[in-house]
Amino acid sequence: MRVDVAAADGRTLVVETWGDPAGKPVFLHHGTPGSRLGTALRDLTDRYPDLRFFAYDRPGYGDSARAPGRAVADAAADTAAVADALAVDRFAVVGRSGGGPHALACAALLPARVTAVAALVSLAPPDGPGLDWFAGMTPYNVAHYTLATTDPAAYERELTARAEVIRRDPGQLIEDLRADLSGPDLPVLADERVRRLLLANHAEALRVSAHGWLDDSLAFRSPWGFDPGNIGCPVLLWRGAEDAFSPLGHFHWLAGRIPRSTAALRPGAGHFAAQYALSEALDWLP
């Protein structure tokens, strides 16, 4: 069910909620680019009938109003606004890929409300002490984030043009990534359930503009506004050992920084295996 919620500053946030209305609440943060429609495969409620799920489009995606200059930390206030509007007090948080940093922000900045967090194939902060942020990163992402850092105006033009193409053919983003995919990603993307999910996800994410994609990328390359080392709740960090998009150094940096973290490095899995790893994360939640 779609619900429109007002953020603290009056912006509209588009929310999807499903599952058992009386179930344990779990917030799902989508990837980049992404939307609330791309957070979980359709059979999730059948497998977890005792959970209540929430997801919202981050600012600039779909019909969620843009928040220019937003930081990763700002996801905590928006998540709290959604929780307040839906009368949810305490909740767990799961973020996949670009949703990982935003899930960690909720854990760090909403300590009285977040019970646990799972960050699947997450990036780490660009200013993390001792972290070589680009080391081990696929050429696609290196070029993507370098342009965002060095020439944001040119990067916005590029994303706007790419979004127009993806609007006409949502499968084009998968094709753009194909050259950089690891071997284990190919059968995941051949799974018709995953492909349908990704097509709906990208179509909704970029339906209005590329602003969400742009602002996510700029936020990842800027100070996040919190220290992951201050997270006090249990944290699951999950990464496929063959992931070509979320560098291994980021995974180890987060695992070494977050006090109560469990690091799950899965052999033979790539970046997109995180679609399946949501079940592992939900089983882990205390």
Residues 183-208 have a mean pLDDT of: 96
The pLDDT value recorded for residue 179 is 86
Residues 85-95 have a mean pLDDT of: 98
Q: DSSP string spanning 145-157?
A: HHHHHH-HHHHHH
Q: Which residue(s) pair with 237 in the sheet?
A: 119, 263
Question: What average pLDDT is seen over the chain?
Answer: 97
The pLDDT value recorded for residue 244 is 86
Residue 274 contacts residue 242 (beta carbons within 8 Å): no
Residue 244 contacts residue 138 (beta carbons within 8 Å): yes
Residues 195-207 have a mean pLDDT of: 96
We find that the CATH architecture of domain 2-284 is 3-Layer(aba) Sandwich (3.40)
The pLDDT value recorded for residue 159 is 97
If phi > 0 it is left, if psi is from -120 to 50 it is alpha, else beta; for residue 130 that is: left
Domain boundaries, the chain: 2-284
Give the closest residue to 113 by CA, choosing from 123, 126, 103: 103
Confidence of residue 120 (pLDDT cuts 50, 70, 90): very high
223-260 tens-digit pLDDT:
999 999 999 999 999 999 999 899 999 999 999 999 99
Torsion of CA 217, 218, 224, 228, to 10 degrees: 20
- Residue 177 above 90 pLDDT? no
The token pair at 113 is 């409300």
Confidence of residue 91 (pLDDT cuts 50, 70, 90): very high
- Three-class SS string for 61-86? CCCCCCCCCCCCCHHHHHHHHHHHHC
Residue 78 contacts residue 65 (beta carbons within 8 Å): no
CA 6 – CA 13 distance, rounded (Å): 6
Residues 196-206 have a mean pLDDT of: 96
The token pair at 73 is 């930390």
Half-sphere exposure of 208 (CA within 13 A, CB side): 16
The pLDDT value recorded for residue 5 is 98
- Residue 196 above 90 pLDDT? yes
Residue 23: phi and psi, rounded to 5, are: -80, 170
Residue 151: phi and psi, rounded to 5, are: -150, 75
List, in order, residues 6 or more apart from 178 with CB less than 8 Å away: none
Confidence of residue 29 (pLDDT cuts 50, 70, 90): very high
pTM to 2 decimal places: 0.97
Rg of the Cα atoms in the chain: 17
Length, in residues, of the chain? 286
Residue 270: phi and psi, rounded to 5, are: -110, -165
- What angle is formed at CA 119 by the lines to CA 149 and CA 201, rounded to 5 degrees? 70
CA 222 – CA 279 distance, rounded (Å): 31
The pLDDT value recorded for residue 85 is 97
